[in-house]
Amino acid sequence: MTPFARAHRFGGIRRFAQISRTLVRHGLGSLMDRRRHRRSSPLENSRSATAKGVLPSPRRLRMALEELGPSFIKLGQLMSTRADMFPLEYIDELKKLQDSIPPVPFDAIAGIIENELGRPLKKTFKSVSREAVAAASVAQVHRAELFSGEQVAIKVIRPGIDKVLRNDIRLMYYFAEKLEKSLEIGRVVGAVNVVKEFERTVFRELDMRTEAGNMDKFAANFEGDAEIHIPRVFWDLTTKSVLVMEYIPGVKVDQVDQIRAMGIDPAEVAMIGLRSFSRQLMEFGFFHADPHPANTIVMPDGRVGLVDFGITGYLDEEDMRQIAFLFLGYAEHDYGMIMEALIGAGFVDDTHTDLKRFRTDLKDISEPFYGRSLSTISVRDVADQVMQLIFKYRLRLPRNLLLLLKTFIQTEALGKTLESEASLLEVTRPYAKRLIERGYKAQKILRNLGDEIRGFGRHARQMPGFVHDILKRTAEGKQRLILHHDGFDRLDAKLEKGVNRVIVGMVIAASTIAGALVLNAPENGLVVTLPILNLDAVPLAGLLGITGYSIATILGIWLILSIFRSGKM
C-alpha cells in the first residue's frame, strides 16, 4: 500500500500532506530515509546525530510540533515527561510546549455548553465572559457568574477535538513505524509505544468528569488546610465536555513582583508549595503532576490555589514508603538506604544492573549538591546528571515515577523562581519519618496481613484455571508432565508385612476354631496307634484337634514376638 493510500485510510491525504510538509520544512523529512549505525549506544547516536545535523535541533522539533497543532503539542508534552527516553536538551525544549493555542470563537464554545447542559446559557449563568481566560490544546476556560453571585470558571472541551485526535493518532502510528524502521534511536525509544501511551492518556483528558473527580480527591485531602485551596466542583453543571468550578482569584506563582505587591512573602509561598508537595507524596500518595506557574495561583489572602488536575500521579503504599526512604537517605547521607529504596521503588533492576558501579556513580553525582540551598542549585544540572545515569544504565522507569521526577523538578524550579533558600529534602524529611513510623503500627501490619490473605484468595481462585490450561496443553501434546515419586518401595514393604501378619492371624484363628470343633465332636470316629509315643487307640479327631491347637499356639507366640520387636504394638 502506498503512503498516500495509507494516508487516506489513516485520516485524509490533506492532513498527511500537511504533516509531511511541516516535517520536511523543519528538517525531519529526510530523517526517515537515513539509516543509523548500530555499533554505538543510543545516547551517543542521538548526541552525535544532533551535532552532525542529521536529527533536527530541539528547537526545530518543538516548532514543528507547535505548527502541527493540538494533537502534536500534547504528544510533545508527553515526550517532555519521558526523561528516560529522550536526551535532556530535547526534554528542556519540549517543556516549553505550554498549550499556547488560539482560543475557539465563543459562539462555538457556547453551543457546546448549551448542548451539554440542555438549556440556554442565560438560564444557567448570570454572565459569561466571551474572552477565554486560558486556551489549551484540548480545552479552554471562560469566566462566568452564577445567579447566586458565585464566580466560576467554565472549562470546555474544544469542539471537534475528539475526531482531530483520532485522525492524527492514526498518522502518528504511521510515522512512528517508519521512524522505528529507519533509525536505531527510534527503535530504542520505542516510537510506537510512545504513541500508544499518548493515545491512552490523552483520551482520559477528554472527559471532564475525570478531572472533576481528581479535584474532589484533592479537596478531601486538603480539607481544613489553611495554606492550600482547591476549587469546588459544581457537579450539577459538570458533564463529559464541560467542567464548572470555583474561580480562583490571584496571580500566577511566577509573578514575584505582584506577589510582593499583595504584601505576601514569595519565600513563604515557596514553603507552602514544598510542604504541599511533601504531603501529597508522603501522606496521600496522590500528587498534582503538572505544577507549572499557570496551574499554581497565589491568592490575595496568602493561600496557594491549585488548578488544572488533568495530569495526576498515584503512588501505592509501598511506593510511598520507598520514596520516603529515598528522601530520608538523601537527607541523612545514607547511600545504603538510597540504594534499597531505588530497588524497592523499581528505579533500579538489581538483576540486570551492576549495583556497585551504579552506587558509585550515584554518589558521584549526589555529593556536589549536599548542604546547598535550593537557590544555589541549578535544576538543569541536577536533571542532567540524573538523566545521564538513566541513559547509562538503560533504565526504563514506570510512568508514575517519571511523573514524580518531573514534578520534583518543576516544584524545585518554582522554589527558585520565588527566590527560596529552602531545601526540598529538609522540608520533606519529617513527613518521610512519619510515613515510615506509621508503616510499623499494628493497624498497618493487620492491614498488610489482610492484603496477603486477599492475595492468597485471588491465587486460589485462579488455580483451577491454571490446572485446566496445563491439562489441556498436555492433552494437545504441547507439553509433557513428568511425575517423579520417591519412597514408595518402603511403603510397599510395609504394606506387604502388614498383610502377611493379618494372614497369619487369620490362620491362627482358623486353627484354633477348627481344633475346638474337632475336640468337642461327640463321636471319636477313627482311632490310630502312635508307636513312637507308645500310644494305642488314639482318636483321630482328638489328634487333629491337639495338632491345630499346637500350630495356633506356636504361630500366635511368633506373631506377638514379631510385633513387640517392631516397636509398634
Q: Residue 252's beta-bridge partner residues? A: 297
Provide CB contacts within 8 A for 373, sequence distance 6+: 421, 422, 423
Residue whose C-alpha cell is 535541533: 57
| Bridge partners of residue 229, in order along the sequence | 305
Answer yes or no: are the C-beta atoms of 542 and 502 closer than 8 Å. no
Compute the CA torsion angle 443, 444, 448, 453 (nearest 10 deg): 10
Question: Whose grid coordinates read 490310630?
Answer: 528
Let me know: does 77 contact 28? Beta carbons within 8 Å: no
Set of cell numbers at residue 118: 440542555
Cβ pair 395, 84 in contact under 8 A: yes
CB 189 within 8 A of CB 85: yes
- Single-letter residue type at 125: F
Cell of 60: 526545530
Q: Which three cell numbers stand for residue 146?
A: 452564577
DSSP 314-328: E--HHHHHHHHHHHH
* Active-site annotation holds for 290: yes
The dihedrals phi and psi of 306, each to the nearest 5 degrees, come to: -105, 130
Handedness of CA 351, 357, 361, 362 (dihedral sign): positive
Instruction: Find out whether 215 and 184 touch, Cβ atoms under 8 Å.
Output: no
Distance of CA 489 to the CA centre of its chain: 51
* CB distance 180 to 174 below 8 Å: no
Angle at 168 between CA 138 and CA 87, to 5 degrees: 80
- DSSP string for 456-515: HHHHHHHHHHHHHHHHHHHHTTSS-------SHHHHHHHHHHHHHHHHHHHHHHHHHHHH
CA distance 107 to 105: 6
Rounded (10°) CA dihedral 96, 98, 101, 104: 180
CA 168 to chain centroid, in Å, comes to 27
Which candidate in 84, 168, 290, 308 is catalytic? 290
The whole-angstrom separation of Cα 82 and Cα 91 is 8
Helix (H) or strand (E) holding 260: helix 256-261
Nearest to 139 by CA among 189, 73, 53, 49: 73
Neighbours of 199 (CB within 10 A): 16
Active site positions, annotated: 290
